[in-house]
Structure 1
């Protein structure tokens, strides 16, 4: 772990991308505020530069005067305030997570905000674990909504869920090609798809690349979804639609982002590790990943849009 001797040397290293684990029910803006607050706290706890000196001339004007250098107390943090404050940091997210969504969140710090914008414009794929429960539907499709329907679910099996999600994936992929202006039976479409994932031309259009059931213990189940341009309410709707196609009702109980591009939960810093030393170590690791995967910050050469 990196150890810093002075606050100034530590501050100079805080330019890059970090990966943190966003807790549920904590807004992204609050996550940024906590990160900046912790960085200020840790920087102000490090040894700082010496106090500025001032020249003081004393004595009577009609006699030889004495000149001496004394500490400038106006430069003392106890007078002028902490050396580092929240306004000294710029932070932004590479891709937003909803209030109730937990998981991997990429944050650009200072000069790293440019990297965050480049990753965001590149429409990185994200993987989620979406948890749901059968037998009830709510008006928001989420657990905190008002119950609008109850239904039996004894007839639902793992095999039926697998069949329905396979059909949902095929339907979404077909729609993706159609909305991109591509025809499924053309050689050009095949060649384009063989080069990598096809991103939608509209960066606000949600596209699913994969959906499968990874856990089922009636009435609870978990879907693993890979997508771009998605948002929390869109994922809730998928759970509701799954319940309808299974001839029952279902609602979402939780959403966890487990991967964004090449950054996964194993790299994400927990809230207790949002400290200067852990953040700088994490920033170095993220930079190594970016160096190995240059397409993440060069969206103009990686995007395959119609």
Structure 2
């Protein structure tokens, strides 16, 4: 655990990237506000710097006067208020997580906001666990939507799901190469893939790199998806489309981000650990991870010409 001597030392160390676990049904602004509030609370609880002194000159003006230092009550915390406020911090996230999504969230504190910008522009691959349920379709493709269809699912087996999922992955991979203007079986396609992960030049074009079923217990199932430029409704639509291809109905029951680049859930701090000491320790771990992976923010990858 990081040892803190005083609040000033701790505040100077709060420049970097932290990895937290965003709970479901909690907006990003609330996560951001909670982290900064906890930092202010813990910093204000630490020993503060020495209070400033005030020079006081006493004595009659027609006689030798004495000069002394006395306590400056204007610098006292009871008069000036808390030393650290929300306005003293800058905080931004590297990638957006929807209201109903949970999982790995990267936040930049103060100078760490530059790192979140680099991560956002680098468009690192994110991995998700998408929980779905068979037998019901909704108008929003999510569990809280209005039910528009019900269907049986007794004919669905693990083999059928694996077959459809493999077909969906192959279709997305084919689309990636079609957008790049080369044939999948050509030498150019091989050279394109050997240079690294193919990323779309359009930052708004969702691209799937992998999708598979990791859990199946009717009516519940879980898909593991690796994607770039994805968003909540797009992931919900995947579950709905899977149900259509299986000749049944399905809706998304939850979305969990389990990895963002090299940052996994084992590094993400739970809400109970959003304290100054844990966040500083987590910041050091994130920096070590970035140092060990110098190319993390400078991926040499092929770009799709969307």
Q: What TM-score, normalized to structure 1? A: 0.97
State the SS of the aligned residue for 2:213.
strand
- Alignment deviations for residues 70-106 of structure 1 (CA, whole Å, 9 cap, x no partner): 1111111111111111111111111110000000001
Structural mapping, 1:217-236, within 5 Å = 217-236=217-236
**Hey, what's the Cα distance between the residues in 2 that align with 1:277 and 1:72?**
31
User: 1:296 aligns to what SS in structure 2?
Assistant: coil
Q: Are 2:150 and 2:249, in contact at CA under 8 Å, matched by a contact in 1? A: yes
Match of 1:25 in 2: 25
The Cα shift of 1:68 comes to 1.8
The 5-angstrom pairing of residues 1-306 of structure 1 reads 1-299=1-299, 302-306=300-304
Q: Which runs of 5+ in 2 are unaligned?
A: none
Decide whether the 8 Å contact of 2:195 with 2:301 is kept in 1. Answer: no
Q: Which runs of 5+ in 1 are unaligned?
A: none
Match of 1:34, SS state, is helix
Count of residues in correspondence between the two structures = 304
User: In the aligned structure 2, how far is the partner of 1:298 from the partner of 1:248?
Assistant: 43
Equivalent pair of 1:132/1:239 in contact (CA under 8 Å): yes
CA contact (8 A) 2:199 2:302 kept: yes
Deviation at residue 265 of structure 1 after TM alignment: 0.4
Distance in 1 separating the partners of 2:182 and 2:253: 36
Aligned-pair distance for 1:178? 1.5
**Alignment RMSD, CA only?**
1.1
Displacement after TM superposition at 1:269 (Å) = 0.3
1:194 deviates by 1.7
Give the C-alpha shift of residue 195 in structure 1: 2.4
Mean Cα displacement is larger for which, 185-194 or 245-254?
185-194
- 1:292 is displaced (CA, Å) by 1.1
